[in-house]
Structure 1
Amino acid sequence: MSRSEPGIGPAGGRVILHDYWRSSASYRVRIALELKRVAYERVPVDLVAGAQRSADHLALNPQGLVPALEIDGKVLTQSLAIIEYLDDTRPLPALLPADPAARSHVRAVALAIACDIHPVSNLRVLSRIEALAGAEARAAWNRENIAAGLEAVEKLLRYPGYTGAFCHGSTPGMADCALIPQLYNAERWGVEYRHLPRVSTIAGNCAKLPEFQAAAPERSSAGPGDT
């Protein structure tokens, strides 16, 4: 829950996030909402129990995924699209830089995580691998995928003007919203990343910020749908 008046966003009206506490995509949006100071209510969607396939949830998100964000009289899906909407409608603090080349690079880092690492490590894929080849194959697949993906992200972060604080510049943005949930998953699966200097520096800097602390899965677990 945001630290502002519960459930009321700066543009007015209730803001409701349908999410699962350990979902990387949901975690990204929680970070963005906290950074934007948008207060929101949470409706847990228990992915393990299959609540994402319920008729009510499919009416919000036909893909049967989380998150889904009710805001400004709309229902938004896909985490990075939601973050860009928040940046377009609530410009400060900016989550994307003004310079076109820098914006492209920040998007590239975020997409490398959200579209290349995350999709082949999500619950649907891992459950299928376990069904076909067993729990050990599931774990090996996930660790190898996350480790290789983070190595590539480290290299992507080596661009001119990198300050060492966040993925771009001296304030967190969309790429940081994507990176921190992926590092949470890395830790869950025992994937080491502290040998990656830029990734490690960013992780440490984000960990100090109350917005990232408030969005963390353990802080966001509440109720029977968050077990």
Structure 2
Amino acid sequence: MSGYVLHDYHRSSASYRVRIALNLKGLGYRRHDVSLVEGEQRSDAHLARSPQGFVPVLELDGGRMLTQSLAIIDWLDAVHPEPALAPADPLARADMMARALLIACDIHPLNNLRVLKRLKHQFEATDAQRDDWYRHWVAEGFAALEPMAGTGRYLGGDAPDVSDVCLVPQMFNARRFDLDLSPYPRLVAIDAALQALPAVSAAHPDAQR
């Protein structure tokens, strides 16, 4: 087992991505839970790991800290290249990044826990309004992602790539917030294929508790 320590929270989408990537690559790691609900991400100890106070943080042998899920996954792919999570072909890689960034940059930030809390505290949004906000942005993103899915078993074709790693947590959250997934049959089928992989199912939030 490597000396990696993953500072994460079980329901954090970004942390979920990194757990999937580590598992797909067969890399051992130790989890250190940082409770977002209890505000542990704002503790001095965690801010020393991540100046943003975000999870995940991957602590390497020797104490070096890596932050931001896609940066961590990119580093893992460079240092542990098999199985590759990014295609070598430049056009295929651009397509993969477009899918991954659609989720990680266009859907996820609008529905981050701190944004949902801001809606409630600054704008007095009710729980129902907060949930409608969440579903709106996921639905808008999934409507664009569905035709980008292609015809392969996964978003990445015959093997999972970074966009698949991003999809799984977003599908988990879509179900948590009761989004109707019937308009996205390709995404549902791809998610089911991914969930059948032991490396993916072992990263599920429920498996961390």
Give 2:79's aligned residue: 89
- Counterpart for residue 151 of structure 1: 143
Which amino acid counterpart does residue 204 of structure 2 have in structure 1? A
Amino acid at match of 1:192: D
**Deviation of the 1:18 alpha carbon:** 0.2
The alpha carbon displacement at 1:143 in A equals 1.1
Q: Is the 1:164–1:201 Cα contact (8 Å) retained in structure 2?
A: no
Aligned length: 206
What percent identity do the matched residue pairs reach?
Answer: 50
Q: Measure how far apart 1:84 and its partner are.
A: 0.7
Alignment of 1:54-73 (within 5 A): 54-73=43-62
Runs of 4 or more, structure 1, over 3 Å off, are none
Which residues of structure 1 form unaligned runs of 5+? 1-7, 222-227
Aligned position for 1:75: 65
1:27 equivalenced with 2:16 (yes/no): yes
Counterpart residue number, 2:208 = 220
Aligned-pair CA distance for 1:72:
4.2
Give the 3-state SS of the residue equivalent to 2:146 in structure 1.
Answer: helix
* 2:34 aligned residue: 45
Does 2:92 correspond to 1:106? no
Residue 110 of structure 2 aligns to which amino acid in structure 1? V
CA distance in structure 2 between the partners assigned to 1:68 and 1:54 by the alignment: 14
Measure how far apart 1:41 and its partner are. Answer: 0.2
Post-superposition CA distance 1:171-200 (Å, at most 9, x none): 111111000000000000001223312212
Give unmatched runs, 5+ long, in structure 2: none
**CA drift at 1:156:** 2.4
Bigger helix share: 2
TM-fit CA distance, 1:153: 1.1
- Inter-partner Cα distance in structure 1 for 2:136 and 2:84: 34
1:16 matches 2:16: no
Residues 66-85 of structure 1, C-alpha deviations (whole Å, 9 max, x = no match): 00001243211000111111
Aligned-partner Cα distance in 2 for 1:72–1:111: 29
2:177 aligns to what?
189
Q: Secondary structure at the match of 1:215?
A: coil
Matched position secondary structure for 1:168 = coil
Partner of 2:116: 126
Q: What SS does the corresponding residue of 1:91 show, helix, strand or coil?
A: coil
**Cα gap change, 1:114 to 1:82, in 2 (>3 Å):** same
- Taking the aligned partners of 2:75 and 2:193, their CA distance within structure 1 comes to 25
Quote the Cα distance in structure 1 between the aligned partners of 2:61 and 2:50.
17
Q: Which amino acid aligns with 1:167?
A: L
What is aligned with 2:132? 140
1:207 aligns with: 195
Aligned to 1:225: none
User: How far apart, in 2, do the equivalents of 1:205 and 1:195 lie?
Assistant: 18
Question: How far 1:20 moved relative to its partner?
Answer: 0.3
Q: How much is the aligned-residue C-alpha RMSD, in angstroms?
A: 1.1
Give yes or no for contact 1:163–1:170 (8 Å, CA) kept in 2.
Answer: no
Secondary structure of residue in 2 paired with 1:112: helix
